[in-house]
């Protein structure tokens, strides 16, 4: 795995430790800041294919340098519940788990783990659609294993 970090945060060891039991040959990771005046706290993308990298295997993470910590982020679960809206229609909602991040390094790791789940799906030949909940669950489980977040 090749990590190119363009930020002041030291996360290389943390990232490598989190995925050491998975196949990471040929994976490239770029960590950058969000563009100035961005309203996002962070973003991540897994590229299955780019002009420069036809085989894909590129994870790009961006973090906002003006984030204030602790920062609260919601993760999707596979649990659903039903509730009636104002018209009396029954609507299914997905339960969310809110996680508090006390440092930018832990937030970068969480975004990386979410995108890494998409990378594993790519390696196993799964399509890239409808995998957001699965990626959130993967990231949350790994964060719990690393004792970055605590079990519910």
The confidence score (pLDDT) of residue 146 equals: 92
pTM over 0.85: yes
DSSP state of 36: T
* Separation of alpha carbons 66 and 33, rounded Å: 10
* Separation of alpha carbons 97 and 141, rounded Å: 12
Per-position pLDDT tens, the chain of length 152:
999 999 999 999 999 999 999 999 999 999 999 998 888 999 999 998 888 887 878 999 999 999 999 999 999 888 889 999 999 999 998 889 999 999 999 999 999 999 999 999 988 888 766 688 899 999 999 999 999 987 55
The confidence score (pLDDT) of residue 58 equals: 93
CA nearest neighbour of 41 among 51, 33, 49, 31: 33
Omega before 70 within 30 of 0, i.e. cis: yes
Domain boundaries, the chain: 2-68+104-145
């Amino acid at each position: 795995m090749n990590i190119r970090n363009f930020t002041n945060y030291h996360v290389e060891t943390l990232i490598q430790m989190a995925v050491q039991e998975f196949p990471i040959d040929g994976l490239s990771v770029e960590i950058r800041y969000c563009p100035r005046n961005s309203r996002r706290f962070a973003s991540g993308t897994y590229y299955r294919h780019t002009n420069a990298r036809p085989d894909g295997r590129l994870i790009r993470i961006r973090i906002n340098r003006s984030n204030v910590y602790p920062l609260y982020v919601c993760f999707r679960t596979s649990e659903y519940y039903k509730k009636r809206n104002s018209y009396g229609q029954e609507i299914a909602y997905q339960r969310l788990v809110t996680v508090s991040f006390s440092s930018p390094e832990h937030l970068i790791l969480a975004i990386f783990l979410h995108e890494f789940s998409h990378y594993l799906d790519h390696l196993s030949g799964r399509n890239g659609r409808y995998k957001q909940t699965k990626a959130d669950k993967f990231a949350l489980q790994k964060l719990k294993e690393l004792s970055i977040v605590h079990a519910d």
